[in-house]
Structure 1
Amino acid sequence: MSAPRTSKQHRKTAETDIRLELNVDGTGVSEIKTGIGFFDHMLTLFAKHGLFDLKIHAKGDTEVDFHHTVEDTGIVLGNAFREALGAKTGITRYGHMLLPMDETLAQVAVDLSGRAFTVFRAPERVDTIGIGFHFQLVEEFVRGFANAILANVHVEIQYGKDAHHMAEAIFKGLARSLDHATKVDPRVTGVPSTKDVL
């Protein structure tokens, strides 16, 4: 029986205080409290569609804006995945998803390469979602996550109009891509790299 792929994280700065628990091999159970309603919704569906058990309690300077809380949560979540996956022995490594959400089509691709790189392509001048959640925050979350987990993460909205749908398609697509990339393949000896390290 392999060791559980779990992580507990706590990151406190002058701007945010975030506690997070992750089980990569979960069932999609979550408890999300960030003080930002729409962000809670996105992280809840991220856990659900990736089948990750996820608990996040975040306090941030939301009286200023949502940027620090969203970006720092991405960083802490990336740190948690990196710790939980350890040496990445036996993983699939790559994952991708083409995900429709009504009028929107999002494409997400992930390589758990040990190298951080983000490509984010979406329409310009996207509407704000709800009360104060700017669509640009989705990119900040993805970039913070990719930098912390040390992965290539490519996101593209191929087409779409509704800002909520575009954000939701990205979070679901990222979840599905990670679910595939983190799966253990019994055919893999060591790690899936000719370098023998990821």
Structure 2
Amino acid sequence: MTNDHRYIIFHKPYGVLSQFTQETPKHSTLKDYIDVPNVYPVGRLDWDSEGLLLLTNNGQLQHRLSNPRFGHQRTYWVQVERIPDPEAINKLCQGVEIQDYRTRPAQVKLFLEEPTVTQRNPPIRFRQNIPTAWLEMTLTEGKNRQVRRMTAAVGFPTLRLIRVSIADLQLNGLKLGEWRDLSPIEIKSLNN
């Protein structure tokens, strides 16, 4: 661990691109929240996803955490349309076909009570007479829009997606739109 590396955790809001350059004026970017030069996101969260985003200037760590070969866990809280049945959850756990790819097995559980999350702006669209449910999904890979494609493949479209952890890193009370440097203990756990 060298002193010239920087490690930042950011609680990304809905509607923010996981990049510093703006391609379209309708979305804000990381530059609107983080004024730290030469750090880059490890992986990405789509503009319509929220939650934990790790940024660093340590290219070796960035590669290791992004490459599915190393199997780092990423956990998401996923609000879906309707209430998934055990068969759908079992399919998600075993891996599903999305496009021309079969996902790796995942850990998936249905929340019995809605988790405590910040209000999203804008809120998700609620449809009268169609309930929603929350899943906790832990993956070891991160294909483009994978969680959304997985839940759609089993018939329960994603309405809201929040990444709550990467490996041992968690948001731990970090407010929406806030960032902080990682502690030495957090940095050490990422490098193991």
TM-score, normalized by length of structure 1? 0.30
TM-score, normalized by length of structure 2? 0.31
Between Structure 1 and Structure 2, the one with more helix by share is 1
Larger RCO of the pair (alpha carbons < 8 Å, separation 6+) = 2
Structure showing greater radius of gyration is 2
